[in-house]
Chain A
Amino acid sequence: MNISLSDKIKKEIDSIKSKFPDDQNKSSIIESLLIIQHENNGYLTNELIESLADYLNVQKIDVYEVATFYSMFSLKPIGKNIISVCTNVSCMLRNSDQIVNYIEKKLKVKIGESTKDNKFYLKDEMECLAACNGAPMMQVNHINYENLTYEKIDKILDGIKDD
């Protein structure tokens, strides 16, 4: 049981649990999945989902529902560094579609795919990322980069080390 949850993760989950009433373990699912996913190279496996259900003592289906509903969870392996280019309306007006094209060409991927070397994942982002005054913008590993130009993109992406 729970073989795949490390002690470190369990400790973090315990502190998440303390945010909610004692009988409300389901409330901890979202934040727990985020940290589990982070520790597991950015994606969730059935095994991890089920271990969390066991650890929180909730139904497996409860955790699956959450894992499939929210867009930041991935159920398949993805590239190490997540790029989300906002293409919602304010960014579209500031040419975000060209930004996506540029990144697709530069990384040789289509939106929604990971690079062959698994270094990058270009997420098919539907949402406005709440930085509309900095359009066009993207998040790389959830850090905002705004007022993008091709040169800026080169600098940001080329600056990410392989390790």
Chain B
Amino acid sequence: MIKVCTQTFGHKNPSSIDTYIKLGGYSAWKKIITEKTSKSEIINTVKESQLKGKGGAGFLTGLKWSFISPNDSQKYLVCNSDESEPGTCKDRDILRYNPHSVIEGMLIACYAIGASVGYNYLRGEFIGDQWNVTNNAIKEAYDQKLIGTNILESNISIDIIPLIGAGAYIVGEETAMLESIEGKRGMPRIKPPFPAVQGLYGKPTIINNTETLSSIPYIIKNGTDWYKNLGEGDSHGVKMFCMSGHLTKPNVIEAPLGTRFSKLLDECGGVLDNKKLKAVIPGGSSVPVVKGEVIMDTPMDYEPLMKIGTMLGSGGVIVMDESTCMVSVLERISRFYYAESCGQCTPCREGTGWLYKTLVKIRSGHGSQSDLDLLNRVANQIEGHCICALGDAAAMPVKSFLTNFWNEFEYFVEKKQSMII
């Protein structure tokens, strides 16, 4: 079993700095600050490792870092620990069991992009457990002079600061997060300008996901070849897969990118109650659904999933068995995007409402054939016409559910009841 972001998991006191250091933690950071490794060398290492952002978009991390404005103004790093894409539950494990990897990754990232401050923004609902662990871990690292002013007498000063949200899915979108840190409503900004040029308080800013930053110390320590070779087949690196839904043993599994879906399914003890697999949403509720038989042998990586019409997204793998009513699932997904739309763009604000209300109508037995066409039409009107990807996230499930399970939707509007009894 490979362990990158999950290295401390299962150890005694996994979140303590002693455990982390015993396992080699902070050695990458200490090496960098004693040797004064050049920034470009670090960015190149991350680039060559092919590390892709784990927050959803899968953008190459090293490449993103290289976009940071080279001027010598104040710069910021933001760690996106808002984890709220439905079906995603990996960052919460990293935050509570391996918080120091995130801190070390943030320190290295700050150094590489020339930021003197790194904020770790946790979703409000993490205030019970993850928030306390994060605060403690940061304090431990300050006490050992790994963070702060003149770190280990190196003349390098970086602050790592925890922040907490207060409940809003949209804040996970990177520019909405910047707005939120600035103390405003979480409303996404129009891009460009991109945050790497004009981000927090108008200053160049890099935003990365928790899992992305947690991977950094291990890549710096063990090298690019090591990380790349962890992948299976043509794939590079690893990913945390959040296996949920109709499984015997739902679980968060860190596995090589390129691992076949069937293998992940096996590791979760197969479909619950030995039922037949019906459908899978492999990357959080925003990505298209696919039929079970289509994904079964697919390597779980960005490209192979694109080929079958879906995406890896955040790695939230939602598994549905044969007893699942797809109309009900889509209704629930649409409720979410309707509730969470920030309301700035008319197509998203109005469209998500239409989608949800139409699905409620269908599911209560009052729908007609024309409502199915309406769903497709509204989804098309939202897609590509909004400031942020929430609009697309609301549209893609609708289109894919209708395409893959048309007969089920048709049955519902004709018979006024679910095909699934």
Residues of B within 8 A of A143 (CB): 128-129
Tell me the complex Cα distance, A90–B127, Å. Answer: 22
Tell me the complex Cα distance, A30–B161, Å. Answer: 15
28 pairs across A/B with beta carbons < 8 Å?
Answer: A19-B161, A19-B163, A26-B182, A26-B183, A27-B183, A30-B166, A30-B180, A34-B164, A34-B166, A66-B166, A66-B183, A70-B124, A71-B168, A72-B124, A72-B167, A90-B245, A93-B244, A126-B335, A126-B340, A127-B125, A127-B336, A128-B86, A130-B83, A130-B84, A132-B88, A132-B316, A133-B251, A142-B128
Give 1 or 0 for each of B334-375: 1 = CB within 8 Å of chain A CB.
011001100000000000000000000000000000000000
Taking a contact as CB atoms under 8 Å apart, the answer to whether A130 and B129 are in contact is no
Name 11 extra pairs, CB < 8 A, besides A30-B166, A128-B285, A135-B250. Answer: A27-B181, A27-B182, A66-B166, A84-B125, A92-B332, A93-B318, A127-B169, A130-B91, A130-B92, A132-B245, A133-B250
What band does the interface of chain B fall in when counting residues whose beta carbon is under 8 Å from A?
35 or more
Tell me the complex Cα distance, A64–B247, Å. Answer: 43
Chain B CB within 8 A of A10 CB: no
Residues of B within 8 A of A66 (CB): 166, 183-185
Residues of B within 8 A of A141 (CB): 128
Residues of A within 8 A of B333 (CB): 89
Give 1 or 0 for each of A72-116: 1 = CB within 8 Å of chain B CB.
110000000000100111101110000000000000000000000
Chain B CB within 8 A of A28 CB: yes
Tell me the complex Cα distance, A144–B88, Å. Answer: 15
Question: Min CB distance, A158 to chain B, in Å?
Answer: 20
Tell me the complex Cα distance, A57–B138, Å. Answer: 29
Give 1 or 0 for each of B42-62: 1 = CB within 8 Å of chain A CB.
000000000000000000000
Residues of B within 8 A of A88 (CB): 86-87, 285, 332, 336
List 10 A-B pairs, minimum CB-CB distance, nearest first.
A26-B183, A71-B167, A70-B166, A142-B128, A132-B244, A72-B167, A128-B86, A90-B244, A126-B339, A69-B185
Taking a contact as CB atoms under 8 Å apart, the answer to whether A134 and B250 are in contact is yes
Tell me the complex Cα distance, A89–B340, Å. Answer: 15
Chain B CB within 8 A of A62 CB: yes
Chain B CB within 8 A of A21 CB: yes
127-163 of chain B: CB within 8 A of chain A: 127-129, 161, 163
Candidate in A24, A90, A144 with the most chain B CB atoms within 10 angstroms: A90
What band does the interface of chain A fall in when counting residues whose beta carbon is under 8 Å from B?
35 or more
Residues of B within 8 A of A89 (CB): 86-87, 245, 281, 285, 318, 329, 332-333, 336
Question: Min CB distance, A127 to chain B, in Å?
Answer: 6
Taking a contact as CB atoms under 8 Å apart, the answer to whether B125 and A142 are in contact is yes
Give 1 or 0 for each of B317-334: 1 = CB within 8 Å of chain A CB.
010100010001100110
Give 1 or 0 for each of A18-59: 1 = CB within 8 Å of chain B CB.
010100111111110110000000000000000000000010
Which residue of chain B is the closest to A91 with respect to CB atoms?
A: B244
Residue of B183, B318, B336 touching A62 (CB-CB under 8 A) = B183
Known contacts A26-B183, A66-B183; is A130 also within 8 Å of B335 by CB?
Answer: no
Tell me the complex Cα distance, A25–B184, Å. Answer: 11
Residues of A within 8 A of B88 (CB): 128, 130, 132
Residue of B186, B281, B316, B332 touching A69 (CB-CB under 8 A) = B186
Tell me the complex Cα distance, A58–B183, Å. Answer: 11
Known contacts A19-B163, A134-B250; is A69 also within 8 Å of B84 by CB?
Answer: no
Question: Min CB distance, A74 to chain B, in Å?
Answer: 11
Tell me the complex Cα distance, A34–B165, Å. Answer: 9
Question: Min CB distance, B159 to chain A, in Å?
Answer: 9
Question: Min CB distance, B354 to chain A, in Å?
Answer: 18
Chain B CB within 8 A of A65 CB: yes
Give 1 or 0 for each of B230-270: 1 = CB within 8 Å of chain A CB.
00000000000011111000111000000000000000000
Give 1 or 0 for each of B162-195: 1 = CB within 8 Å of chain A CB.
0111111100000000001111111000000000
Chain B CB within 8 A of A5 CB: no
Residues of B within 8 A of A92 (CB): 328-329, 332
Which residue of chain A is the closest to B323 with respect to CB atoms?
A: A93
Known contacts A131-B92, A144-B128; is A73 also within 8 Å of B166 by CB?
Answer: yes
Which residue of chain B is the closest to A96 with respect to CB atoms?
A: B332
Chain A CB within 8 A of B123 CB: yes
Tell me the complex Cα distance, A64–B201, Å. Answer: 21
Question: Min CB distance, B277 to chain A, in Å?
Answer: 13
Taking a contact as CB atoms under 8 Å apart, the answer to whether B182 and A132 are in contact is no
Residue of B83, B182, B320 touching A24 (CB-CB under 8 A) = B182
Question: Min CB distance, B166 to chain A, in Å?
Answer: 4
Which residue of chain A is the closest to B171 with respect to CB atoms?
A: A70
Tell me the complex Cα distance, A87–B180, Å. Answer: 25
